[in-house]
Amino acid sequence: MNILNFKKLAITAFITLLGFGLSLESTSNSVNFSAEEIGDLSSNVPSVDDIGNIISRTQPIFTYSGNVKYWNNPAEKELALYIKDNGTAHYIVLQQTNYKSSLTDGNYKVELFNTGLLLKNNTSNKFYFIAIDDNEAKELLNDIYKRGQKVEGVDLSAKGIIHHYSPVDDLDAIDAVKLKNRSVLSYFKLNAECNHGGPGASSCSFGKFSGGSVSCKAGTYACCVENKSTLPSSKAITASCSCKDDRK
């Protein structure tokens, strides 16, 4: 089920339940609502846009469970995850984050949202939430708490959250990044003008089977560029994405 149909179904179900509840109340107690009372009642009902935003915020754009490799580069304030999933290499990068990583390679459940990343260590059952400095990310964290999940480590300081993916053969490229002590973003070389996003854009995305996406905090803008992948032995076309500071 795609996200649009899911939204329609959720909205229809919500309105149906609301109508059913009003019907029961009226039937059992023979209550007649005045125009003012109906107005007060309707003002507390979430709008279609509100429901859509909740669904969009809480619906992961990428999920995975299995082996994850981490690369923490304090000099660049960068935390990166590297995942091999059915022949596709995924890099998830927190750009300019203050998160002090205690994460180690291992088996994790990964849920990537538009503005944040929820991790569960499948061995210790501990949860971690790392996100951009953004109100939507704060609302997402509140939604996670409402699930009843206890989160061990929380950080909402990142400049941006980036997802790169490409079907490549060299799926241990993160080790090359570590050996050269480079940032993952510099490894993908974002060195051209944006052809997706640009000044004023808080997010952008590119590609289908290979590509990328990025969401950025206020004061920055999202930028994606189509280019040849710099991964060894790869001829894949991918997207390099990052957050750039707004021009003064």
- Chunk the chain into consecutive blocks of 10 residues (it has 248) and report each block's average pLDDT, rounded to whole numbers: 46 46 42 50 47 61 94 87 87 90 90 94 94 91 88 92 77 64 70 81 85 91 74 53 82
Q: What is the pLDDT of residue 159?
A: 94
Q: What is the pLDDT of residue 118?
A: 94
Helix (H/G/I), strand (E/B), else coil: 171: coil
Q: Pairing mode, if any, of strands 211-216 and 160-166?
A: antiparallel
Q: What is the pLDDT of residue 189?
A: 62
Tokens representing 235 are 């001829």
Q: What is the pLDDT of residue 29?
A: 46
How does DSSP classify residue 201?
Answer: -
Q: What is the pLDDT of residue 214?
A: 93
